[in-house]
Structure 1
Amino acid sequence: MMQAMDHMDHAMAAAPMNGDPDHDFLSMMIPHHQGAIEMAKLILLYGKNVHIRNLAEGIIAEQENEIQIMRHWLAMMPPVTHP
């Protein structure tokens, strides 16, 4: 589980930032959600509690959908110009 957290931390630190709060928020939230999905998949592989497994399945579905939405919003943003 810690390996998944470390991977997420590195991906968030490497997220492309441009100083626009909306862009930067989305840019960092995508790897954050990917990290949650990675951890939830570990629960599906190794977890035994049915309630936690159900939670993990919901997290995967919801966060995959949110990643698609965030990618769409990022693609629709105009480029940031600096004076």
Structure 2
Amino acid sequence: MLPRFLKSGLAPLAAAALLAFAAAAAAFAHDDHHPVQTGQTAEESAFLAENDTAMTKMMNDMAAKPSGDIDRDFVAMMAPHHQGAIDMAVIELRYGKNEQLRRIAQEIIVEQRQAIDAMKLAIGEPVTASAPAPTQPGPAPAAAHDHAAHDHKNMSHEMKN
């Protein structure tokens, strides 16, 4: 059975739209993920360079070699994806000025770390010790570390139930 738009004679229009979308995507893929701007500040250049590095690392790390265990392969691909979000959020905290976006970036860091830990726990891998984001000075306060350890124990307990 043909889709309704093919029966109505819209197939050429749909094909043209699909081709235009594919051409735009291909053109974007050849770009450095950001438009060249004249008069770019040193801060903007540093932001874009760090973001490009984070994106490249994420994409490379997501290309995990299949292990034969679908669950482990899923975690091997998704953990770098979530880490990429963390890395980009840290860059926002380093350079961003908008307080609302900075709060969102902080939430991304917390939530994505929790997602990585939950995935690791689900396949029996140890979780990474919590540490402050690189935009924060010094080690994490003991109370924050104790709270994070408590959260990990709760996550592990909840996943077993």
Both structures adopt the same fold (TM-score exceeding 0.5): yes
Residue matched to 1:26 = 75
Residue matched to 2:57 = 7
- Give the Å deviation of 1:2: 1.1
Deviations 1:25-73 (A, max 9, x none): 2211001111110000000000011111111000000011111111111
Question: When the two structures are aligned, how many residues end up with a matched partner?
Answer: 75
> RCO greater where, 1 or 2, for CA within 8 Å and sep 6 or more?
1
Does 2:74 correspond to 1:58?
no
Question: Structure 1-normalised TM-score?
Answer: 0.80
Partners of 1:5 and 1:74 lie apart in 2 by: 26
Q: Bigger radius of gyration, 1 or 2?
A: 2
In the TM superposition, 1:57-76 aligns within 5 A as 57-75=106-124
State the AA in 1 paired with 2:95: Y
Which aligned segments of 4 or more residues in structure 1 are displaced greater than 3 angstroms?
none
State the AA in 1 paired with 2:105: A
Residue matched to 1:39 = 88
Partners of 1:30 and 1:74 lie apart in 2 by: 12
State the AA in 1 paired with 2:96: G
- Structure ranking higher in helix proportion: 1
Partners of 1:16 and 1:53 lie apart in 2 by: 35
- Give the Å deviation of 1:75: 2.0
State the AA in 2 paired with 1:3: T
Structure 2 residues not aligned, in runs of 5+: 1-50, 126-161
Residue matched to 2:159 = none
State the AA in 1 paired with 2:82: H
State the AA in 2 paired with 1:9: M
- Give the Å deviation of 1:20: 3.5
Give the SS at the match of 1:17.
coil
